[in-house]
């Protein structure tokens, strides 16, 4: 297990869904951590988080106001830090379509600023958050996250003798995260009608804890340049609507700009570099400083067949209406009644 004894860890976007869940995990299971620093812009969210995690109980927790667009601020925040988890992003597809330059500034320039700040300080390990929308992207959000992934992966090639390791974690919809479909449907079901973009639509599904586990695993095990992809189930969007509002009318409203009917995490073109490691896949970088045979041996990694794809529509594992209800009760809303 990852040893964080006396380590300092900074989470960009630490007040977000994933950032908070990571903070909880580290405080619970790694209480010997020296410091956890939450880096984000909005003082109100930091104020609220500080109430949830009071300094009298969690003296390791610190808050740092800053914007990933501000390289100098990142350098100041990264001083004395060992590990970075980069979770800050603009993540709403339609908002990114409408404000492309803003999304590029945060998701692309912000990623490069994080990398630059790592090289200006003594960071040892970096895990950057990606998304299934970065795989064969058709919307600006996905394209910026793919660019960010490429920047982090390529950063391993320019590090010289610096032992720093950069890796990426990619996954699909996080159940119940800020702005996601499940809390949206729960709020809307009182109206008796739930909007369905496309009756065939499917999505990958991961719990916040599943996301946290993959990030912690990457932080511990990355050799540099990997994209870690957990094996997770899919759901049909119509099953989510039935699970939440069985008596609601499902109104087809049409696919939104930049949306896919099915999401992808690995395309056939990635298959040449993709390894199956049991619980997850890893897309390896085309160039790396370590030996592929050592990697295969260490992780029992098996190259996937040529042409292999990992698509939410062709998944072998599925959530059903019943499993979705149970998951919503467990992960999103303990009082949930369908």
Ligand X SMILES: NC(=O)c1ccc[n+]([C@@H]2O[C@H](COP(=O)([O-])OP(=O)(O)OC[C@H]3O[C@@H](n4cnc5c(N)ncnc54)[C@H](OP(=O)(O)O)[C@@H]3O)[C@@H](O)[C@H]2O)c1
| Lookup: tokens for 168 | 């990426």
List, in order, residues 6 or more apart from 268 with CB less than 8 Å away.
Answer: 306, 307, 308, 309
Exactly one of 20, 91, 133, 260 is catalytic; name it: 133
CB of 11 to ligand X, least distance (A): 8
**Token pair belonging to 202:** 């499917």
Report in angstroms how near the CB of residue 141 gets to ligand X at its nearest: 8
Candidates 8, 60, 106, 312: give the one binding ligand X (CB under 6 A): 106
Of 13-21, 182-190, 220-228, 240-248: span binding ligand X (CB under 6 A): 13-21
Transcribe 56-76 into DSSP letters: TT-TTEEEEE--TT-HHHHHH
41 makes contact with ligand X (CB under 6 A): yes
Is there binding between residue 242 and ligand X (CB under 6 A)?
no
The answer to the question of residue 24 lying near ligand X (CB under 6 A) is no
- Among 60, 147, 173, 207, indicate the residue that binds ligand X (CB under 6 A): 173
Sign of the C-alpha dihedral computed for residues 94, 184, 192 and 318 taken in this order: positive
Which of 131, 139, 147, 167 is close enough to bind ligand X by CB under 6 A? 131
Distances (CA, A) of 133 to 44, 92, 101, 129, 201: 29, 11, 18, 12, 14
User: What's the min distance (Å) between Cβ of 140 and ligand X?
Assistant: 13
Binding flag, residue 215, ligand X (CB under 6 A): no
**Contacts (Cβ under 8 Å, ≥6 apart) of 318:** 233, 234, 235, 236
Residue closest to 267 by CA, chosen among 304, 230, 295? 304
Where do runs of H (alpha helix) occur along the chain?
17-29, 43-52, 71-78, 93-98, 100-104, 110-120, 140-155, 181-188, 208-221, 237-244, 292-299, 321-327
Does residue 34 interact with ligand X by CB under 6 A?
A: no
275 near ligand X, rule: CB under 6 A? no
Does residue 216 contact residue 9 with C-beta atoms inside 8 Å? no
Min CB(281)–ligand X separation in Å: 16
From residue 293, give the alpha-carbon distance in Å to each of 44, 199, 299: 49, 45, 10
Q: Minimum CB separation from ligand X for residue 248, in Å?
A: 23
Let me know if 133 is a catalytic residue.
yes
Residue 16 contacts ligand X per CB under 6 A = yes
Residue 12 near ligand X by CB under 6 A: yes
Stretch that binds ligand X, among 38-46, 93-101, 224-232, 268-276 (CB under 6 A): 38-46
88 interacts with ligand X by CB under 6 A: yes
Stretch that binds ligand X, among 24-32, 117-125, 171-179, 287-295 (CB under 6 A): 171-179
Out of 37, 103, 127, 129, the residue judged to bind ligand X by CB under 6 A? 129
Q: In this complex, which beta carbon is closest to ligand X, that of residue 49 or of residue 164?
A: 49
Quick one: tokens of 274?
A: 């993709």
- Total number of residues that touch ligand X (CB under 6 A): 30
Report yes or no: 13 and 42 within 8 Å, Cβ to Cβ.
no
Cα 173 to Cα 207: distance, rounded to the nearest angstrom = 8
Q: Measured from the CB atom, is 126 or 301 closer to ligand X?
A: 126
Number of H helices, E strands in the chain: 12, 17
Options 8, 110, 121, 136; binder of ligand X; rule CB under 6 A: 110
**CA-CA distance, 110 to 115, in Å (whole number)?**
9
Site for ligand X in 67-86 (CB under 6 A): 67-69
Question: Catalytic residue numbers?
Answer: 133
Which positions touch ligand X (CB under 6 A)? 12-19, 40-42, 45, 67-69, 87-89, 91, 106, 110, 129, 131, 145, 171, 173-174, 177-178, 180
């Amino acid at each position: 297990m990852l040893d964080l004894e006396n380590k300092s860890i900074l989470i960009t976007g630490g007040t977000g869904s994933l950032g908070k869940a990571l903070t909880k995990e580290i405080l619970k299971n790694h209480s010997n951590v020296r410091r956890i620093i939450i880096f984000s812009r909005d003082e109100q969210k930091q104020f609220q988080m500080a109430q949830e995690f009071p300094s009298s109980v969690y003296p390791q927790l610190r808050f740092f106001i800053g914007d990933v667009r501000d390289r100098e601020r990142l350098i100041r925040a990264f001083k004395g830090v060992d590990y970075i988890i980069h979770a800050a992003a603009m993540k709403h597809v339609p908002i990114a379509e409408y404000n492309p330059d803003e999304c590029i500034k945060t998701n692309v320039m912000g990623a490069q600023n994080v990398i630059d700040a790592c090289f200006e300080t003594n960071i040892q390990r970096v895990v950057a958050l990606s998304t299934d929308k970065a795989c064969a992207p058709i919307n600006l959000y996905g394209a910026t996250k793919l660019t960010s992934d490429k920047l982090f992966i390529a950063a391993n090639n320019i590090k010289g003798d610096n032992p720093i390791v950069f890796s990426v974690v990619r996954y699909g919809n996080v159940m119940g995260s800020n702005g996601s479909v499940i809390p949206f449907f729960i709020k809307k079901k009182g109206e008796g009608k739930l909007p369905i973009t496309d009756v065939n639509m499917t999505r990958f599904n991961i719990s916040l804890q599943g996301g946290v586990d993959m990030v912690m695993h990457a932080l511990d095990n990355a050799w540099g340049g990997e994209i870690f992809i957990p094996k997770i189930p899919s759901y049909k969007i119509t099953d989510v609507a039935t699970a939440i509002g069985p008596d609601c009318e499902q109104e087809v409203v049409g696919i939104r700009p930049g949306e896919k009917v099915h999401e992808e995490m690995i395309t056939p073109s990635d298959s040449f570099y993709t390894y199956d490691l049991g619980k997850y896949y890893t897309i390896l970088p085309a160039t790396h400083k370590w030996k592929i045979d050592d990697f295969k041996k260490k992780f029992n990694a098996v190259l996937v067949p040529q042409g292999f794809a990992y698509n939410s529509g062709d998944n072998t594992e599925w959530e059903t209406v019943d499993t979705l209800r149970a998951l919503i009760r467990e992960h999103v809303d303990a009082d949930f009644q369908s």
